Amino acid sequence: MSIGDVARRGGLQRPAPRSRPGSSSRRIGYARVSTKTQELERQIRALKAERCDEIFKDTASGKSLAGRPQLREALDSLAPGDELVIAEWDRATRSMWDGLQILKEIIDAEATIRVLDRAYIDLTSPIGRGFMAFISAMAEDERLRIIKRTHEEFITLLSGAAIWPLVANAQQAERVRRIGVLMPLTADDPLGQARIVALREGLGKLGWIEGRNIRIDTRRMTTGDVESMQRFAKELVALQPDLIVTQSTPITATVLQETRTIPIVFALVADPIGSGFVANFAQPGGNVTGFVTMVPSMASKWLELLKEIAPRVTRVAFLFNPATATYFEYWLNPFKAAAVSFAVGAIGAPVRDQSELASVIAEQARVPNGGLVVMPDTFTDAHRLEITSLAARHRLPAVYPYRQFTAVGGLLSYGDD
């Protein structure tokens, strides 16, 4: 059960969106990324939608408020009646003490605060502010756990598979081997960053050190950007690496179209046999191998959990993007079959781009006793903040496939992590 569920059970569900502050007050926005290679666009877009009068932006990885000068300036500029709107709480705070200090300064300034990715918490009340401090402590602990868990799992699964073409050439005189990586997570996505770090560390433990005997060429793209995906696949193949690591079904298919000789190691592919990547799990054949961490029977578990937390649910939508989840029937068919045993109506809820998310989720929320299950899909993963925020805003009970959804406010997740 996620912290979002605890919040709702504790009466911390946020009321309907408030109107702007008084005419003499200001609405101040704050967004942050860690490095100049990361993008602020998503956070800025969310703050502009809230009609902020001024937006402060940090590009810094400071571990204290002193290391986030724009946040410091935003806090210092607060006047009585102002409202500070933070796009993502984890971007503003790094620890429980950070959170407590920010909340105290806002109270001392007689201002208010609203956090977009924690919309279910009413920060105008002492209980809500106390719960937010508790979340900061949990987030700090979770951040450490994610790093440790990602390292362990990704090292075990990916590094073991990735090493086989390198070992095959071990008898040759040592030279710098080249690994290409193509993934659908942008440079500012913490999950993508953690996976790259885990790959490097896993290879390092096996004796392959970047800068000494391997070189890793990484290409990242926004989910659904087919043009970039095809261009990056061609670029990596043109480099003639010793192997290419891919993440997601569409990316693996695209790289496979470019080469039938360079070894490909895939991760997080839904249906490698049905997608034609491998002949079977025991003997994949060809130039492709990898691992699968989730199976279609999990659809039944998602429905079971949804009925446990929301027993009155009678109609459940399965959210996915058919352009990125080209394998959607792999999940949708067992989902519909399992729905019969839970006496609920199951429907597919395809969305083709980000602009359709609001209308599709709102439509499901308008139906009495509706619920939502989110399909494992690079599109839904990339837009997890928007999806969880919309579900919380419409008070739509939802179950998600990965822990990173609950980390940004989702109700409950069940998956391989």
34 given a catalytic annotation: yes
Question: Which amino acid does the sequence have at 45?
Answer: R
Q: Which of 274, 268, 354 lies closest to 319 in space, CA to CA?
A: 354
Distance between CA atoms of 280 and 160, rounded to whole angstroms?
A: 19
HEC string of 212-269 equals: CCEEEEEEECCCCCHHHHHHHHHHHHHCCCCEEEEECHHHHHHHHHHCCCCCEEEECC
Q: At what angle do helices 357-366 and 384-393 cross, to 10 degrees?
A: 30
Question: Among 34, 95, 228, 300, which one carries the catalytic annotation?
Answer: 34
Tell which phi-psi region holds residue 185, choosing left (phi > 0), alpha (psi between -120 and 50) or beta.
beta
Cβ neighbors of 300 (< 8 A, separation 6 or more) are 334, 338, 341
Question: Bridge-partner residues for 217, per DSSP?
Answer: 180
What is the distance between the alpha carbons of residues 182 and 175, in angstroms, rounded to a whole number? Answer: 23
Closest alpha carbon to 94 in 120, 115, 68: 68
Q: Which tokens belong to 65?
A: 């408020």
* Structure token digits, residue 317: 């939508």
The residues facing 27 across adjacent strands are 83
Sign of CA dihedral 252, 258, 259, 263: negative
From residue 129, give the alpha-carbon distance in Å to each of 27, 76, 101, 132: 19, 20, 11, 5
Where in the sequence numbering do the catalytic residues fall?
A: 34
